[in-house]
Structure 1
Amino acid sequence: MKKNKTAELFLVLLILTVMSVGVFILQNGMEKLQNVKQQSVYVPETRDLYNNYGLKNDQSLSKTRILETQDQVIYTDRIFNINQISEDHISYAADILKALQEKSGKDAYIMPIPERAVFESGYENEKEKYNNFTEKLEASFTDPSVVLNPLSELEKHQSEYLYFRTENSWTMRGAFYGAQVIFGELGYDKENLDAYREYVFGTFEGNLLLEALKKYTTDEIKRDIGNMEQEPFYIYINGSSLNREELTLENKEGQLKTLKRQMIQFNSSGSHAVIGSDYEHSIVEGRGKGQRKGNLLLIADARGKMMISYLSEIFEKVYVSNIYEDADLIQNLDEILEKYNIEYIVWAQDVTETGNISYMRALNPLLKEGGMSDVGTDP
């Protein structure tokens, strides 16, 4: 009897010990889970909260216009620019590309990226202006295929969330269709967007909205702009992507420093999350699915770099030059082409800035070297 009681007591103590350990593990696990929730901006459930306009609750785009000026239109849920495409910049853009082709000896292409206005009802003339720009640019070359026009590809998918509502850029989804045009011209198989993982990393207020809040001081207008719904930032990345880059930027002392980090920053949003903003250049590690020799030099603005998630799938390396900041690109071009085995060059930039000397710091030295001083350089 005594042995039975001892055994029962031992069993009770064992059960209590196991329960205590279990409670401790559960509490510790819950604390870790709470910490992860606090640290992460990614909430999977939010992905389905937004429709193809980047709006919640199945809202359609607003028809209520807050303000329209000579160069901008503001609705209660979106902002976009108008009347900013200038054909005066075409000749400079053409001469720059010709000089780039001659200096590099590589296949070089230019992609003027259309803005949101081309798909806005009532502003069909913006699409006409874009087409006129690209057609006249094509006419500057014996081979018009060097001008990559993504508009027709975008038109096939215009019911999708292609452009931000408050940021002057296409989304990563819109950029996917731009990349498809590049793949098609270079002879690569086109990508399937379904093969990419889709995430939503928080919401943000884009540069157009923030600038409008500073620009317009009337209380009513400022209030309406301030009440504009924030938009989600969708990230598309292949599950096998290396998501690694070697980023070179200028520090506060004016010295260049290099960082090895993630190509897409999951704690940021908008175009700032992709490669960064105030950088000189980045060497992005790719997967090389294209299975060909030769890599890509992408000379891009904030919109062009949004294609990097897809371009890095095809090439083993993509050298991304910030067209706004990379003043040493042309000086170092021969070395870059050889070191990174560059076979193709794509210059991708907002159509309103393409050929505008004020937004082409990386490429402007080409004309100085080429001696084409007679080319117009309208700011």
Structure 2
Amino acid sequence: MSANNVSTFDVFTEKNKNEFYVVDLRSDTISRPTLKMRQAMAQAIVGDDVYGEDPTVNELEKISAEIFQKEAALFVPSGTMANLLSVMVHCSRRGTEAIVGDLSHAFLYEQGGASHIAGVHIRTIKNEKNGTFSLEEFKQKIRSYDQHEPITALVIVENTHNMCGGKVIPLEWIEELSKICKENQIIMHMDGARIFNAIEALKVTPDKIAKHFSSLCFCLSKGLSAPVGSILVGSESFIKEARRLRKALGGGMRQVGILAAAGLVALKEIVPQLSEHHRRTYKLAKAIDNLKSSNIQVDLATVQTNILLIHITNKRILASDLAKRLVEVSNKEKTAGVCDDNGRGIIVKVSSRDWEFARAVIYHDISDTDIDLSIKKFNYVIQEFDELFPR
């Protein structure tokens, strides 16, 4: 955009942040612990978790296993470690491989840990827009005992699917996948970082989603607002081996009940509120859709949970252009009333890389006021783009 200079735009910095109303929609990882979490953390009864003696961690693990009707659970520092542990346990035989979606977190954003730490070959399959992949192609990619090839031992399913816009994986598709896996002795692991969003969207009990998977992990520090941690659930034998390997990865924590206490509050306090996160996401999506822009659009019919993909349909505009403009405040927009009740300009932060879309994620800290002000900002900026790039 040509009108991008300091005399026309106020640029957000830490020094002048009090002059703006900032809505940060880059990710639900930005969510902060609630007051109840902080209080629970301060009062947590703790022990040495490596010895299995932290009562708060033990309670969190017990409750988590019960939620998904699995035998046991393990508290780990991150979802990345949970996924890696699953690969290490399920693919313990050398020369095995795991099949994952090409847009999966395990493939894109975990530094190839399965390969360079676990020594497991990763094979990708193209993700469909709804987060699934072709089951026919999956069948074709399965490898067994040919002496030239690795053995397919594991498949990882991401639910909800991050890079596909928070899509919920259909239960019918999981059922069909499980039949293929049983026939070929392939283990199923679910990367359920945002699995409670999927549960809320489907209106089913957690065990309905988890029943076909030997292991499943979920994140406490994304949409559930806890500061640190993920949970890995599975059989007693699986968790026993995962606990042992957690120590090798540097994940053996001591008086970690201070963190587990926040996780317990997350399950009780935040999970019941996820429907509100979804409602606010849809409200923002509907407002953008109502603009009927020829340059910047959403696919309203596919908005299912707390992640919104804002598609850039004009090749002359980059997702980074939109993201950059949303964190700038022009004198003209202030005059047009694009500000909060105190007259502060509105800053909206979204994610954008070399994508054809920008991503906005709603979480506990984002209020209805935040959504209303975000809509005001998006309306102005998108109309501005439409005037600059008529089609």
TM class by smaller structure: under 0.3
What is the TM-score when the length of structure 2 is the normalising length?
Answer: 0.27
What is the TM-score when the length of structure 1 is the normalising length?
Answer: 0.27
Flag the structure with larger Rg: 1
